[in-house]
Amino acid sequence: MDNLEIANILNQIADLMDIKGENTFKINAYRKAARAIEELAENINEIYSKDKLKEIPGVGESIAEDIKELIEKGKCQRLKSLKEKIPAKLSELMDIKGLGPKKVAFLYKKFKITTVPQLKKLIGSHKLKKLFGWGEKSEQNILEGINLYKRFKERFPLGQIYPYAIALKEKLKKMPFVEQIEICGSFRRRKETIGDLDILVTSKNPKKMIDFFVNLPEIEKVNAKGATKVNVILKQGARRQNGVEADLRVVKPENFGAALHYFTGSKSHNIQIRKMGMERRLRINEYGVFKIKNHPVIRPGAPSNDGAKSKIKNLLRIGGREEKDIFRAVGLPFIPPEIRENEGEIEAAQKNNLPHLIKEKDIKGDLHLHSNWSDGENSILEIAKTCQKRGYQYMAITDHSSPLGIINGLNPSRILKQIETIKKINKKLRNFYIFSGIEVDINKDGSIFLPNKILKKIDLVVAGVHSSFRLSKEQMTKRVIKAIQNLNVDILAHPTGRLINKREPYEIDISAIIKEAQRTKTILEINAFWSRLDLNAPNARLAKENEVKLVISTDAHSLNHLNYLTFGVDTARRGWIEKKDVINTLSLNELLKFLKRKG
DNA sequence: GCCGTTTTCGGCCCGACTGTTTTCAGTCG
């Protein structure tokens, strides 16, 4: 069982306990552990074999025991006994918007509802609305929830939603009544997938602002509308972004910083910051930082002082206009949004040891590009001119060399021809250099598709897996290790082969690959194409910790794809990557020197 | 169930909105 499977089971346990009506904090403990495991870079089976399960934050005695059972037997007693009391299918009903644990439990107890079709039928009979606490609206809302259920199952890849979100932001910026605006949430943290858009604005007239917003042509449906908050579904965009959900929140200018921090998250980062505030007798919420005055100290461990917290009225506001006010209040420097995941950034900030995250402008060239010699759309010269316009000093043309016919790969004689062509173009260009490169397939047995005598003539060899994805983990790991042991291989492309929302990463022991990359001085790629983002952020961080150099490359097949660099940089930043970790931040001369190091 | 720089018990983030109610529970983020 892998990390995701274990996390899913823990989440299911939490859902079923929720429906059963167990203690909320116990349920949250399971959800917290599930989340921690989902975000682990290391494979949980390895952690288990080292007997270090309890070192995962949020995993204690009981949950470690559950995980152990799951790994050893593929099942666990706790889930089994829950399933005996509550049908497992009920946890799926909770994915329907508007249905939480209490309603699902009620529907099951009263009507034995366990599936979506049964629920639809029940609503059709109008038995629900006659019951105490349910009405016409409840029926309608559940029905709408069912219709949206499938549509919202998947999160949207960042790159798919990005242009759409930016356009909406620019449009809102020009709206009357809008002062400051920012899209917060996972979008601002630049997660690889986005569930919805959290739009934060300041306005002197929130009511008019909201009325204006809900009438925009981009809005398909208004789900909820209040004085300061509105939830809508956006219309399909030109690029298939069907019905993204958006929350718009209006705050006063003096609250902007606090709200920005609050709505950017992540949730567990925020909880941590609030806890630190509480230790300093501060209350931190989306309206600002408040000092608690004239109030008896609540000692942890002292007899509980029921209701004491809710009676706090003497709050003195000490900040919140700017985001840094929040950090300053708890004695921290500003933490960039991309690393606000409660994955050590708060501890690093406390020690004044935050990474100086790489920036897009640090990138001096693109080292994974396809021209019309293979499956790209543009000529080498066109690409070079565009790269030069972007301010780059160099690029590498890395067309395919592959047994796969569809990508029009280069054979040795075309490679030699291309090298000559690049030499000629280089003579024409000023202050710019084109590396002759290749993206060559790693064969099933780990050998390289091209002979070494050809590879030696190429400036930059990028090797990648493009076929036989379904090997066992041992075979795949061995295959890739053998490939990077080849002294002519400079870069390992998209090391896990995943396609976001489409294809899982192939089975591979990524920490073994990272260790071997360190030993053989092979560079690992962060492929910036938004459907790949591979290495992902946790793996990039693991590579950095093992002193492996990285390259951020677009894998562009057209000029427009060069813009995807930004998503690669985002991913690197989420992985705590600094300029010095990335080879295409080097100047041309530095890079030329650097590339001689292997072999 | 987890956690602990007041550490083995007591606390665990918290506010907005909806639908139904007439003071609040449920859901969401």
* Nucleotide of closest approach to A263 (CA, C1'): B29
The separation, in Å, between residue A261 CA and nucleotide B15 C1' comes to: 15
**Which nucleotide comes closest to A57 if you measure CA to C1'?**
B2
DSSP state of A92: H
CA of A343 to C1' of B19 (A): 39
Q: Is A29 helix (H, G, I), strand (E, B) or coil?
A: helix
A100 touches strand B (CB under 7 A): yes
A302 beta carbon to strand B: under 7 Å? yes
Using a 7 Å CB cutoff, list residues 195-234 of A near strand B: 196, 198, 224-229
Integer Cα distance of A17 and A86 in angstroms? 9
Q: What's the gap between Cα A485 and its chain centre? A: 31
| Integer CA distances (angstroms), A132 to A98, A113, A117, A127, A228, in order | 17, 18, 23, 11, 30
d(CA A399, CA A389): 22
Question: Residues of A from 433 to 462 whose C-beta is within 7 A of strand B: which are they?
Answer: none
CA A136 to C1' B19, in angstroms, rounded, equals 10
Distance A72 CA to B28 C1' (A): 37
Structure tokens at A130: 């006659």
Can you say whether the dihedral through the CA atoms of A512, A518, A523, A524 is positive or negative? positive
Q: How far is the CA of A220 from the C1' of B18 (A)?
A: 20
Sorted by sequence, the CB contacts under 8 Å of residue A342 that are 6+ apart come out as A266, A268, A269, A271, A272
Q: On chain B, which bases lie within 7 A of the protein's CB atoms?
A: 1-4, 6-21, 25-29
Q: Which nucleotide is nearest to A60 (CA to C1')?
A: B2
| Number of other residues whose CB lies within 10 A of the CB of residue A328 | 15
Alpha-carbon torsion angle A347, A348, A350, A354, nearest 10: -150
A559 touches strand B (CB under 7 A): no
Span CA (A87) to C1' (B29), Å: 27
Can you spell out the DSSP letters for A180-191? -EEE-HHHHTT-
Q: What share of chain A is helix, strand, coil (3-state, %, to 5)?
A: 45, 15, 40
Q: Which nucleotide is nearest to A265 (CA to C1')?
A: B29
Q: Are A524 and A543 in contact (CB under 8 A)?
A: yes
Cα–Cα distance for residue pair A562/A276, rounded to 1 Å: 42
Give me the CA A225–C1' B18 separation in Å, rounded: 10
- A283 sits within 7 Å of strand B by its CB: yes
Length of chain A, in residues: 599
Q: How far is the CA of A13 from the C1' of B1 (A)?
A: 12
**Closest residue to B9 by CA to C1' distance?**
A301
Tell if A403 CB is < 7 Å from nucleic strand B. no
Cross-strand bridge partners of residue A492: A463, A524
- Cβ of residue A267 lies below 7 Å from strand B: yes
CA-CA distance, A31 to A14, in Å (whole number)?
Answer: 6
Per residue of chain A (599 residues), give pLDDT as tens: 888 889 889 989 999 998 988 888 899 899 889 888 877 878 899 899 999 999 988 899 999 999 999 999 988 999 999 999 889 888 888 888 788 899 999 999 888 998 888 888 888 888 888 887 888 888 888 888 887 775 556 678 899 889 889 989 999 998 888 999 999 999 999 999 988 899 999 998 888 888 889 988 888 888 888 888 998 888 765 444 457 889 999 999 999 999 999 999 988 888 888 888 888 888 888 888 888 765 444 333 333 333 333 334 567 888 889 999 999 999 999 999 999 988 889 989 998 999 999 999 999 999 999 999 999 999 999 999 999 999 999 999 999 998 876 678 899 999 999 999 999 999 999 999 999 999 999 999 999 999 999 999 999 999 999 999 989 999 999 999 999 999 999 999 999 999 887 778 898 999 999 999 999 999 999 999 999 999 999 999 999 999 999 999 999 999 999 999 999 999 999 999 999 999 999 999 999 999 987 76
Instruction: Estimate in Å the CA A293 to C1' B11 gap, whole number.
Output: 22
In the structure, how far is the CA atom of residue A174 from the C1' atom of nucleotide B26, in angstroms?
A: 37
Are A387 and A562 contacting, i.e. CB atoms less than 8 angstroms apart? yes
Nucleotide nearest to A309 (CA to C1'): B14
For A263, phi then psi, to 5°, come to: -85, -10
Beta bridge partners of A225: A230
Task: Find and give the residue nearest to B16, measured CA to C1'.
Answer: A229
User: Coil, strand or helix: which one is A246?
Assistant: strand
Q: How distant is C1' of B3 from CA of A28, in Å?
A: 13
Three-state secondary structure readout of A419-479: HHHHHHHHHHCCCCEEEEEEEEEECCCCCECCCHHHHCCCCEEEEECCCCCCCCHHHHHHH
Give strand pairing partners of A434.
Answer: A395
Q: Is the C-beta of residue A245 closer than 7 Å to nucleic acid chain B? A: yes
| Strand B closer than 7 A to residue A305 Cβ | yes
Minimum CA–C1' distance nucleotide for A56: B2
Domains of chain A: 3-152 (1.10.150.110), 156-251 (3.30.460.10), 262-350 (3.30.210.10), 360-594 (3.20.20.140)
